[in-house]
């Protein structure tokens, strides 16, 4: 076995896990990452269970993979080993073998550190393996130091979630909440920084409840952890995602004024602008609570960019509830938002809640909501014109035309003309045009790095 292909579905935490799986298998089995499944001896699908669509996508992709696996079994290149990991692996377990019999290994997000042993066992016994326990504490102790880091380093600081919002599978798939020890997190970040990272993204399903001990016994919450990260040599930008309105605190808000490294961007999902729906979602906060945090954040930093998530057509959502959500969007004028149609998930409380909103009504509401969000985003983006912003160049723009794309400190995408060598650099740009989802900029002569 020589080559590894990983297809990633889902959130940033899955993306982080895919990186760690790559590091792990490079060390244990000398595997090299390749960019197509055809070139691989081991294919890993790292999956997401958050909405039905994510799951459907997985099974249709698996359908397409069947042929490839069969061809390999008949050819001379040796069999390909197929593993399904991540949140669907956790939720569906053995069911995956039934729906896709060519899959050899199923594992959950808290078991991927056992992959080397699973592969060895598979080679010896040729027996399918399913590993889905949920004890996050083990995993990090068995992973090698992180591999090559780009300019942006994502670091998981917390696993799982205890909030049990009534619609959400995450507590079921990622297990109970657990924070990584401070020293672990700082060590990993130091490695990334030594490899050239300048932006650190601290990840967790609910980072606002981070609580862990340092080696000297001091308890760190998220604010203190961020202070420690900011002290590390080479850190230029810090972000953290995702936060929960019911777990916010003033110390964290104040930090935006205090630390220049902390980017003025807050992803703080509200989900709905109706208190009745927030109650049914068991979110643990009201619209008024959220409004207060939004105001505090914007007061503490004039450039604060506020982002949110919305779910429309939650069971029982009336036209009035929906209008309250639209009104809230008009009032708070979010800089960015993700929006989803409610998806009924097995094992969650909301799956048995009634009355369901008819699909056509839900789809219309989602379209209206997205129109409102986009219009406001466009207005906000147009207001950026003429501003000077620092961007971190990440990649060539998807639009082609020789443009590069990078993000501002407020997490807005900016496209600029420039050579590929600028990828990975911090540049100072002037914003010249605003669109619904991006900005256009030009580089100022005095570049930052
Ligand atoms: N931990 C984060 C995000 C979790 S999932 C948080 O609490 O904010 C990302 C987003 O997916 C959620 O914010 C929510 O808007 C959406 N989502 C989660 N479950 C969903 C479901 N069953 N149907 C539709 N959207 C859902
Ligand atoms: Fe899911 Fe709620 Fe936990 Fe976010 S806070 S992961 S929405 S249960
Ligand atoms: Fe999806 Fe699991 Fe992330 S369900 S959103 S991959 S935590």
pLDDT tens track for 233-246: 999 999 999 999 99
Position 413 in a domain: yes
Ligand 3 pocket test target in 8, 9, 12, 14 with most atoms within 8 Å of CB = 14
364: helix, coil or strand? Answer: helix
Secondary structure (DSSP) of 29-95: H--EE-SSGGG-SEEEEEE--SSHHHHHHHHHHHHHHHHHHHHHHHSSS---EEEEEHHHHHHHTTH
Ligand nearest to the CA of 86: 3
Q: 3-state class of 211 per DSSP?
A: strand
Answer with the one of 360, 383, 406 that is the final residue of a domain.
383
Q: Assess whether the C-beta atom of 244 lies below 6 angstroms from ligand 2.
A: yes
Q: Which residue's C-alpha comes closest to atom 5 of ligand 2? A: 163
Domain boundary among 354, 383, 412: 383
Residue 405 pLDDT class (50, 70, 90 cuts): very high
| Contact predicate 189/237, CB 8 Å | no
- Are 122 and 13 found together in one domain? yes
- For residue 242, the ligand 1 atom closest to its alpha carbon is 2
pLDDT for residue 400 is more than 90: no
In our burial notation (b when 16+ CB lie closer than 10 A, e otherwise), range 341-351 reads bbbebeebebe
As a whole number, the mean pLDDT across the chain is: 94
Please name which of 209, 212, 160 lies closest in space to residue 185, comparing C-alpha atoms. 212
Cα–Cα distance, 386 to 383 (Å, whole number): 8
Q: Please give the pLDDT value at position 103.
A: 96
Asked if the structure places residue 96 within a domain, the reply is: yes
14 lines ligand 3 (CB under 6 A): yes
The ligand 1 atom at the shortest distance from the C-alpha of residue 50 is 19
Check pLDDT > 70 for residue 422.
Answer: yes
pLDDT category at 346 given cuts 50, 70, 90 is very high
Last residue of a domain, one of 383, 401, 417: 383
The stretch 26-45 carries a mean pLDDT of: 96
**Which residue's CA is minimally distant from atom 4 of ligand 2?**
205
Q: What percent of the chain has pLDDT over 70?
A: 98
pLDDT band per the 50, 70, 90 thresholds, residue 446: low
- Is the pLDDT at 1 greater than 60, yes or no? yes
Q: From the CA of 46, which ligand is nearest?
A: 3
Contact predicate 344/359, CB 8 Å: no
Based on its alpha-carbon atoms, the radius of gyration of the chain, rounded to whole angstroms, reads 23
Cβ–ligand 2 distance for 306 under 6 Å, the answer no
Same domain, 14 and 71: yes
Pocket probe for ligand 3: among 12, 46, 170, 345, the residue whose CB has the most ligand atoms within 8 Å is 170
Please state the rounded mean pLDDT for residues 362-366. 98
The total number of structural domains in the chain stands at: 4
Arithmetic mean of pLDDT, 192-210: 96
Same domain? 9 vs 121: yes
Residue 335: pLDDT above 80? Answer: yes
pLDDT over threshold 80, residue 158: yes
Q: Global pTM?
A: 0.95
Residue 138 within any structural domain of the chain: no
Q: What is the pLDDT of residue 401?
A: 77
Tell me: pLDDT of 448 over 60.
no
Atom of ligand 3 lying closest to residue 54 CA: 1
How far apart are the CA of 370 and the centre of ligand 3, in A?
A: 23
Q: What is the pLDDT of residue 402?
A: 82
* pLDDT band for position 145 (cuts 50, 70, 90): confident
Render pLDDT for 63-111 as a digit per residue (tens, 0 to 9).
999 999 888 888 887 889 999 999 999 999 999 999 999 999 999 999 9
CA distance 346 to 207: 25
| Residue (of 145, 212, 226, 208) closest to 178 by Cα position | 212
Given CA atoms 321, 326, 330, 336 in this order, what sign does their dihedral have?
positive
Q: Which domain holds residue 397?
A: 388-447
Residues 10, 125: one domain? yes
87 lines ligand 3 (CB under 6 A): yes
If you average pLDDT over residues 361-390, what whole number do you get? 97
Count other C-beta atoms under 10 Å from residue 60's C-beta. Answer: 9
Distance 95 CA to ligand 3 centre (A): 19
Question: What confidence tier does 256 reach under pLDDT thresholds 50, 70, 90?
Answer: very high
- Nearest ligand to residue 269 Cα: 1
**Strand 305-312 to strand 336-341: parallel, antiparallel, or no bridges (unpaired)?**
parallel
């Amino acid at each position: 076995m020589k080559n590894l292909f990983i297809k990633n579905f889902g959130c940033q935490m899955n993306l982080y896990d895919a990186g760690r799986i790559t590091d792990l298998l490079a060390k244990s089995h000398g595997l090299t990452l390749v960019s197509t499944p055809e070139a691989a001896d081991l294919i890993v699908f790292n999956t997401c269970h958050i909405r039905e669509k994510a799951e459907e996508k997985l099974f249709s992709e698996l359908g397409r993979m069947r042929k490839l696996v069969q061809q390999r079994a008949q050819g001379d290149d040796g069999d390909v080993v197929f593993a399904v990991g991540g949140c669907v692996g956790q939720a569906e377990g053995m069911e995956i073998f039934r729906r896709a019999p060519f899959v050899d290994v199923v594992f959950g997000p808290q078991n991927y550190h056992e992959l080397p042993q699973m592969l060895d066992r598979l080679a010896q016994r040729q027996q399918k393996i399913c590993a889905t326990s949920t004890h996050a504490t083990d995993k990090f102790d068995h992973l090698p130091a992180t591999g090559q880091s780009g300019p942006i380093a994502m670091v998981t600081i917390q696993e799982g979630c205890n909030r049990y919002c009534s619609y959400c599978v995450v507590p079921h798939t990622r297990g109970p909440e657990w924070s990584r020890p401070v020293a672990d997190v700082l060590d990993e970040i130091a490695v990334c920084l030594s490899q050239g990272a300048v932006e650190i993204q601290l990840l967790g399903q609910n980072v606002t409840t981070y609580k862990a001990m340092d080696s000297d016994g001091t308890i760190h919450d998220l604010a203190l952890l961020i202070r420690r990260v900011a002290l590390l040599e080479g850190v230029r930008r810090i972000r953290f995602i995702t936060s929960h309105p019911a777990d916010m605190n003033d110390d964290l808000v104040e930090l935006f004024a205090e630390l220049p490294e902390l980017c003025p961007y807050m992803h703080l999902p509200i989900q709905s602008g109706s208190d009745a729906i927030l109650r049914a979602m068991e979110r643990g906060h009201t619209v008024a609570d959220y409004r207060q945090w939004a105001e505090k954040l914007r007061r503490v930093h004039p450039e604060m960019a506020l982002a949110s998530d919305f779910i429309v057509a939650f069971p029982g959502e009336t036209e009035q509830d929906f209008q309250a959500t639209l009104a809230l969007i008009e009032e708070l004028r979010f800089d960015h938002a993700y929006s989803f149609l409610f998806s009924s998930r097995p094992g969650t409380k909301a799956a048995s809640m009634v009355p369901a909103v008819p699909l056509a009504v839900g789809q219309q509401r989602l379209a209206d909501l997205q129109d409102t969000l986009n219009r406001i985003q466009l207005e906000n983006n147009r207001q950026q014109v003429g501003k000077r912003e620092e961007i971190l160049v990440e990649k060539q723009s998807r639009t082609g035309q020789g443009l590069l794309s990078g993000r501002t400190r407020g997490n807005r995408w900016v496209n600029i003309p420039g050579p590929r060598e600028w990828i990975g650099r911090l540049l100072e740009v002037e914003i010249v045009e605003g669109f619904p989802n991006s900005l256009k900029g030009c580089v100022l002569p005095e570049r930052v790095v």
